[in-house]
Amino acid sequence: MLAPILCVVGARPNYMKVAPIIRAISAVTQDIDSILLHTGQHYDESMNDQLFRGLRLPEPDFNLNVGSGTHAAQTADVMRKFEPILDKVEPSCVLVVGDVNSTLACALVAAKKLVKVVHVEAGLRSFDRSMPEEINRVLTDQISDVLYTTERSAHKNLEREGIDPKRVRFVGNVMIDSLLANLPHAIPTTQTLTRHELPASLAEEKEGYAVVTLHRPSNVDDRNTLAGLLKSLSHISQTHPLFWPMHPRTRSNIERFGLLPLLRSKYVAILPPLGYLEMLGLMSKARLVLTDSGGIQEETTALGVPCLTLRENTERPITVEEGSNTLVGREHQTIIRAVQEILETGGKAGRVPEYWDGRAADRIATHLVAWISENSGLGVA
Ligand code: UD1
């Protein structure tokens, strides 16, 4: 038996990435266990527990229960609480995914203790250092020993930052593994609406419904920016009923800024954060999706559903170049024109990028298990 792989999750977008990896590792070998550690960055039933259930993730072996805080406090708390667990488990490597604060915090603790770090979803860059995730991406990649990428643009980014290409491997997108495995079990939109006491008929009205998600500080923390976006969304609801599973940060800001009246319409349905299978059902049948999430840009590309990204940049350029995503920023006229175009033409269907085929976790598991067994963590095979 070799030392286990310590897999870290912290926030909602991590769960769908780690679930297929844990499954794939146990399919490849009985000789290396995966241990699951949750930092507790996300903790609400709606942000956490219902997603764990939907993805059939095992109960975490460890939970650091850090909760919310400033970036410094949250990151520091994860680091302080992670260290003794790392000492106890003595893993062959720490596997982190994505770009949340927990990703960087655990990678940093491991690297300083000379424990190998494996980063899944490496090399993505928005080139916007005002995003906390961009800082997390750049730093995590610098201290990782093995870097698995979702798209080829990541390789150029990593090379530019001086990372040895021998450490980097293109495997595809594990988030799409979860999507393809779970799509047959997606919960129909009408059922989701009914569960939240909304008329199921809303799903069939007007020109088809739109799904909205917004949570980036740059969109929701400033009153004027948020008010502008709400006005655009309210305008869109004249043609497309909006279904909006709302992130707690966004909900509290809308209330705090007194902006709720902007959303008072039968055609704007505010929902709590949804389970994974509900969200898949909602997105797969949407006429369009409006978002600032990274994961949703990828999921809509895999589903071939037109996506309008309410940001000035994306760290996932392949979703624009090949997929169904369009960057529209925050300017009202640009957003409305893009929606109009979807109404007239049906919008971008795009194509599914290379290796977004449901087998990315298999590629990771095969490579990682060979790397651990053959090199005892001394270098990439
Ligand atoms: C985090 C990630 C972001 C990811 C997002 C997905 C970082 C820097 N950001 O942002 O990359 O896209 O998760 O949701 O790691 N809150 C709750 N319940 C929870 C969790 C949070 O009410 O279970 C509230 C808290 O008031 C908190 C706020 O939401 O202050 C923000 O949570 P936090 O984890 O700090 O960052 P996110 O905005 O969720």
> Confidence class of residue 380 from pLDDT cuts 50, 70 and 90?
very low
Cα–Cα distance list, 183 to 187, 231, 278, 299, 326 (Å): 9, 33, 10, 11, 23
Is the predicted pLDDT of residue 128 greater than 70, yes or no?
Answer: yes
Catalytic residue among 42, 215, 240, 247: 215
The per-residue pLDDT for 378 is: 41
329 Cα to the center of ligand 1, angstroms: 22
276 close to 185: Cβ distance less than 8 angstroms: no
Is the predicted pLDDT of residue 283 greater than 50, yes or no?
Answer: yes
Catalytic residue list contains 215: yes
Is the predicted pLDDT of residue 46 greater than 90, yes or no?
Answer: yes
Please name the residue whose Cα sits nearest to atom 26 of ligand 1.
249
User: How far, in Å, CA of 281 to CA of 182, rounded?
Assistant: 10
Cβ-based neighbours of 156, under 8 Å, separated by 6 or more: none
**Whole-number mean pLDDT of the chain?**
96
Is the predicted pLDDT of residue 136 greater than 70, yes or no?
Answer: yes
Is the predicted pLDDT of residue 375 greater than 80, yes or no?
Answer: no
101 close to 41: Cβ distance less than 8 angstroms: yes
The per-residue pLDDT for 8 is: 98
User: How far, in Å, CA of 234 to CA of 219, rounded?
Assistant: 16
Is the predicted pLDDT of residue 5 greater than 80, yes or no?
Answer: yes
pLDDT (average), residues 75-79: 98
Measured from the Cβ of residue 373, the count of other Cβ atoms closer than 10 Å reads 14
> 169: helix, coil or strand?
strand
Nearest by Cα to 232 from 331, 105, 88 = 331
Nearest by Cα to 233 from 221, 219, 222, 252 = 219
What pLDDT digit, counting tens, does each position of 340-361 carry?
999 999 999 899 999 999 999 9
37 Cα to the center of ligand 1, angstroms: 18
325 Cα to the center of ligand 1, angstroms: 24
104 Cα to the center of ligand 1, angstroms: 15
What pLDDT digit, counting tens, does each position of 167-212 carry?
999 999 999 999 999 999 999 999 999 999 999 999 999 999 999 9
Please name the residue whose Cα sits nearest to atom 15 of ligand 1.
100
The per-residue pLDDT for 318 is: 98
Nearest by Cα to 280 from 148, 181, 164 = 181
Percent of the chain with pLDDT over 90: 97
Token reading at 18: 């780690």
Token reading at 265: 């319409």
Query: Hey, which bits of the chain come out as E strands?
Result: 5-9, 34-38, 62-63, 93-97, 116-120, 146-149, 168-170, 210-213, 242-245, 268-271, 288-291, 307-309, 325-327
Token reading at 166: 């021998």
215 Cα to the center of ligand 1, angstroms: 8
> 21: helix, coil or strand?
helix
User: How far, in Å, CA of 263 to CA of 195, rounded?
Assistant: 21
367 Cα to the center of ligand 1, angstroms: 32
**Which residues sit with their C-beta closer than 6 Å to ligand 1?**
11-13, 41-44, 47-48, 68, 99-101, 132-133, 215, 247-249
* Nearest ligand 1 atom to alpha carbon 43: 23
Cα–Cα distance list, 95 to 54, 227, 350, 378 (Å): 22, 39, 32, 16
Number of H helices, E strands in the chain: 16, 13
Please name the residue whose Cα sits nearest to atom 28 of ligand 1.
249
Please name the residue whose Cα sits nearest to atom 29 of ligand 1.
249
147 close to 163: Cβ distance less than 8 angstroms: yes
Is the predicted pLDDT of residue 369 greater than 80, yes or no?
Answer: yes
> Confidence class of residue 374 from pLDDT cuts 50, 70 and 90?
confident
pLDDT (average), residues 211-230: 98
Please name the residue whose Cα sits nearest to atom 27 of ligand 1.
68
Is the predicted pLDDT of residue 377 greater than 80, yes or no?
Answer: no
The per-residue pLDDT for 376 is: 67
40 close to 10: Cβ distance less than 8 angstroms: yes
Candidate of 38, 43, 48, 68 to mutate for ligand 1, largest count of ligand atoms within 8 Å of Cβ? 68
User: How far, in Å, CA of 316 to CA of 13, rounded?
Assistant: 15
Please name the residue whose Cα sits nearest to atom 7 of ligand 1.
100
